[in-house]
């Protein structure tokens, strides 16, 4: 039987309210819940109360704007792509920001370096869904945080500046702030009817992302799907001009890459990963023209493989540039892959064994792009918001127009730069052309004999308009060799690796080096 509060004195009522307030404060519901009102005026709810689904997201980004793809714990000069992308997911309340990347099961298909772009990068993760749960989600405690707040109408509210997740309203000025909690009806009493249409992920994300990152499509995936391990192959493109290069020689060298080979001498060793097997399978290595004509023809190397080592593509391109100039023969690719004597040459002559990598500089990263990450049709079904009635802004036609506009401005910049060069050529003659040797008839020895007073400077292309300049060229196989990978790995285990293990044992997280 409820007490008759009408007969209670003021002191008795205050004592009763104080008792109820202390009781509610001690309840698990109060401790685990944040009672801020919904920013859009709807009912308050928590991230953990919403259904989840696992999806894959395909996106592109301009690598020169970022400090690489992978999220970094330590501060970086520029933001990373994953940092900005995850913040967009969190701002759109598709993931719980308190749980971080691990909390939503974040996995990337391929890691790109600082300055490297992508047109078809893929990540997989668990996100908030508008539809009933349709798969086994990760544990709730990993997917929800104490301060997460979201509302269903947020998809529509993104058309303007997204509201803050925390309301300015504060009940702390009221004498008894908890009466509303005691008397509120069950939260499911005003539950909205279930939705039959999924959230417009492409539009939602593109409205909060910078224009240098664009989400292209998304796909529902199974709970066990992994963007990394379900990928069948990665397709990279490296763009370069034919200036100073014999492209036919470069293609001859690229042909040696096809198949399963040991690429330790055509990549950068990262001892922290403790890699022992450097065999990778290349399915395609083809050079073809893209645009332009004459000395300024733009070419692209299409390199397709099941997986790649650290900086592998850029090391391969560096060697191809040396071959294109005539400084190295095409067979040098086969020689660098002959780590244990298993490689053979087309001329049936013995191939030197190179079990340690010679020193050389890798190609520039600006020209490199991760073009595509391929999956089976049974794993992914790429779709856009247009398929389910999504609006134009940030998706479909709108997205195409955005990228088309960027492309048009880039063409204008290219034309302007060409005219700057033409204006300079009226007063400053171009330097003598030494490469490619197959066309100039020169060699490293005859170049210096043609010099008047000062030694001739060799400008070896590194891609992206960069060059390595010097007066003397040392053949690759005559250069200083780096330590054997076994030696480098052991040195890391006994040094930095052991110190990292000690820090991990006492609970200090150490980030991997880039």
Burial zone of 172 (CB within 10 Å; 0-12 exposed, 13-18 middle, 19+ buried): exposed
| Cβ pair 260, 342 in contact under 8 A | no
- CB count within 10 Å of CB 190 equals 9
Q: 193: which DSSP letter?
A: P
- pLDDT, residue 196, reads 73
Q: Three-state SS across 460-505?
A: EEEECCEEEEECCCCCHHHCCECCCHHHHHHHHHHHHHHHHHHHHH
Between the CA of residue 154 and those of 35, 92, 161, what are the distances in Å?
A: 18, 7, 11
Cα–Cα distance between 246 and 261 in angstroms, integer? Answer: 25
- pLDDT, residue 142, reads 39
50-133+197-231 topology per CATH = Alpha-Beta Plaits (3.30.70)
- CB count within 10 Å of CB 388 equals 12
- Per-domain residue ranges for the chain? 50-133+197-231, 232-381+431-508
- pLDDT, residue 44, reads 58
Residues carrying an active site annotation: 113
pLDDT at position 505 over 90: no
- pLDDT, residue 30, reads 53
> Of residues 439 and 161, which shows the higher confidence score?
439
pLDDT above 90 covers a percentage of the chain that reads 63
- pLDDT, residue 198, reads 93
Point out the least confidently predicted range of 205-209, 349-353, 412-416, 500-504: 500-504
**What are 310's two structure tokens?**
């650290």
| Cβ pair 63, 314 in contact under 8 A | no
**What are 84's two structure tokens?**
């900005």
Nearest to 243 by CA among 313, 321, 301, 319: 321
> pLDDT tens digits for 218-232?
999 999 999 999 999
Assess whether the region 50-133+197-231 and the region 232-381+431-508 belong to the same CATH fold: yes
CATH number of 232-381+431-508: 3.30.70.660
Give the model's confidence band at 169: pLDDT under 50 very low, under 70 low, under 90 confident, else very high.
very low
- pLDDT, residue 447, reads 84
- pLDDT, residue 26, reads 61
């Amino acid at each position: 039987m409820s007490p008759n509060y009408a007969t209670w004195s003021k002191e008795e009522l205050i004592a009763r309210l104080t008792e109820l307030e202390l009781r509610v404060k001690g309840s698990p519901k109060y401790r685990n819940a944040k009672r801020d009102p919904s920013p859009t005026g709807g009912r308050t709810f928590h991230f953990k109360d919403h259904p989840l689904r696992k999806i894959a997201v395909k996106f592109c980004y301009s690598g020169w704007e970022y400090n690489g793809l992978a999220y970094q714990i330590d501060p970086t000069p520029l933001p990373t792509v994953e940092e900005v992308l995850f913040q967009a997911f969190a701002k759109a309340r598709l993931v719980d920001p308190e749980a971080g990347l691990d909390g939503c099961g974040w996995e990337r298909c391929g890691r790109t370096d600082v300055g490297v772009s992508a047109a078809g990068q893929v990540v997989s993760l668990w996100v908030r869904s508008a539809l009933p749960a349709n798969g086994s989600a990760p544990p709730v405690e990993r997917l929800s945080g104490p301060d997460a707040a979201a509302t269903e109408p947020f998809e529509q509210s993104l058309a303007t500046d997204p509201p803050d997740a925390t309301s300015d309203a504060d009940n702390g000025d009221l004498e008894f702030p908890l009466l509303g909690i005691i008397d509120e009806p069950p939260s499911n009493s005003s539950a909205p009817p279930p939705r039959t249409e999924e959230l417009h992920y492409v539009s939602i994300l593109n409205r909060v992302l910078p224009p240098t990152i664009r989400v292209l499509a998304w796909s529902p995936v199974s709970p066990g799907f992994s963007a990394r391990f379900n990928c069948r192959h990665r397709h990279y493109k490296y763009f370069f001009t034919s200036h100073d290069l014999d492209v036919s020689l470069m293609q001859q060298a690229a042909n040696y890459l096809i198949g399963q080979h040991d690429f330790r001498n055509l990549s950068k060793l990262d001892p922290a990963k403790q890699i022992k097997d450097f065999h990778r399978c290349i399915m395609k290595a083809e050079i073809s023209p893209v645009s332009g004509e004459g000395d300024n023809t733009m070419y692209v190397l299409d390199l397709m493989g099941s997986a790649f080592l650290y900086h592998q593509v850029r090391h391969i391109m560096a060697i191809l540039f040396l071959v294109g100039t005539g400084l190295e023969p095409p067979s040098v690719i086969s020689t660098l892959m002959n780590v244990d004597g298993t490689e053979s040459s087309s001329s049936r002559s013995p191939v030197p064994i190179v079990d340690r990598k010679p020193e050389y500089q890798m190609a520039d990263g600006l020209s490199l792009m991760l073009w595509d990450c391929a999956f089976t049709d049974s794993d992914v079904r790429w779709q856009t918001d247009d398929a389910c009635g999504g609006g134009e802004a940030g998706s479909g036609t709108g997205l195409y127009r955005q990228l088309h506009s960027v492309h048009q401005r880039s063409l204008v910049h290219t034309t302007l730069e060409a005219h700057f060069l033409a204006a300079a050529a009226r007063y400053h003659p171009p330097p003598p052309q030494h490469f490619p040797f197959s066309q100039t008839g020169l060699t490293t020895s005859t170049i210096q004999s043609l010099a008047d007073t000062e030694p001739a400077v060799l400008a070896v292309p590194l891609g992206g308009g960069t060059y390595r300049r010097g007066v003397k060229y040392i053949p690759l196989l005559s250069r200083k060799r780096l330590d054997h990978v076994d030696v480098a790995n052991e040195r890391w285990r006994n040094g930095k690796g052991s110190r990292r293990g000690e820090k991990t044992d006492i609970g200090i997280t150490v980030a991997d080096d880039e």
